[in-house]
């Protein structure tokens, strides 16, 4: 059984992230409109869970201050 991998997301993950988001809130997930901002390294990091070569989950970690983050 393959284990999940947690890693930092990249622009190359955009399409898979959008595919997941299309199924949230009947296709009205705000991530469809904000994904480019989320992928901008200046705003924080996207974390993805990958299993068998597919992204299964993702989360956004934003920088609030030099010491504080929001997940």
> What CATH code is carried by the domain that includes residue 9?
3.40.630.30
Which pair of tokens denotes residue 22?
């299309």
* 28 alpha-carbon distance from chain centroid: 16
The helix/strand/coil state of 66 is coil
Q: State the pLDDT at residue 29.
A: 75
Structural domain including 58 reads 5-70
Residue spans of alpha helices (H) in the chain: 14-21, 31-39
Residue 25 burial class via C-beta count within 10 angstroms: exposed 0-12, middle 13-18, buried 19 and up: exposed
The pLDDT tens digits of the residues spanning 3-46 come to 999 999 999 999 999 998 888 777 777 888 888 888 888 888 99
pTM here is 0.81
Number of domains in the chain: 1
Flag whether pLDDT at 1 surpasses 70.
no
């Amino acid at each position: 059984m393959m284990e999940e991998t947690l890693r930092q997301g990249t622009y190359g993950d955009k399409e898979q992230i959008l595919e997941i988001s299309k199924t949230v809130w009947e296709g009205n997930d705000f991530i469809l409109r904000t994904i480019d901002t989320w992928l901008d390294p200046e705003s924080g990091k996207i974390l993805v869970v990958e299993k068998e070569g597919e992204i299964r989950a993702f989360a956004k970690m934003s920088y609030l201050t030099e010491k504080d983050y929001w997940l």
